[in-house]
Amino acid sequence: MIENLEPKQCWAFLQNNPAAILIDVRTFIEHSFIGHPPGAKHIPWKEFPGMQLNTGFVQQVQQIVVDKATPVLLLCRTGVRSVEAAKALDVVGYQHLINIAQGFEGQIDADKHRGNIDGWRFHGLPWEQS
């Protein structure tokens, strides 16, 4: 089962569940230069050039999250890629998957900017850049 929680709910979940793992599924550039939550493990779902699917994604997660009962939170830019990644983990038996709805940057606004409507950064949650 894949649960969808908003960023503030996910931050509270992480604070109350220290065994939980947050995986940032965005590209290397997004993770490094746009920013990421502190402690997020970076395993891209897709990568440049061409947004190619990372065919080793599941195996890379399995190396970090050995116990499939461990809560796994997944983050992308807007909450779309993270759902796809969560579905792949669901297929191999991960039991507690949480998609971070709104993602890190959130929806695009009328001026074609992100971060002004919703998302992790919009809500003022902790983040850092590499």
- Give the pLDDT band of residue 49 (cuts 50, 70, 90): confident
* Domains identified in the chain, total number: 1
Q: Is residue 110 part of a domain?
A: no
Burial of 107 (0-12, 13-18, 19+ CB in 10 A): middle
pLDDT higher than 90, residue 106: yes
Residues in the chain: 130
CATH number at residue 67: 3.40.250.10
Q: Residue 124: inside a domain, yes or no?
A: no
122 located within any domain:
no
Buried (b) or exposed (e) across 55-75, using 16+ Cβ within 10 A?
A: eebeeebeeebeeeeebbbbb
- Answer yes or no: is 90 within a domain: yes
The domain in which residue 27 lies consists of: 2-100
- Does residue 13 form part of some domain? yes
**pLDDT greater than 90 at residue 48:** no
Mean pLDDT estimate for the chain: 97
Q: Does the pLDDT of residue 1 top 90, yes or no? A: no
Asked if residue 57 belongs to a domain, the reply is: yes
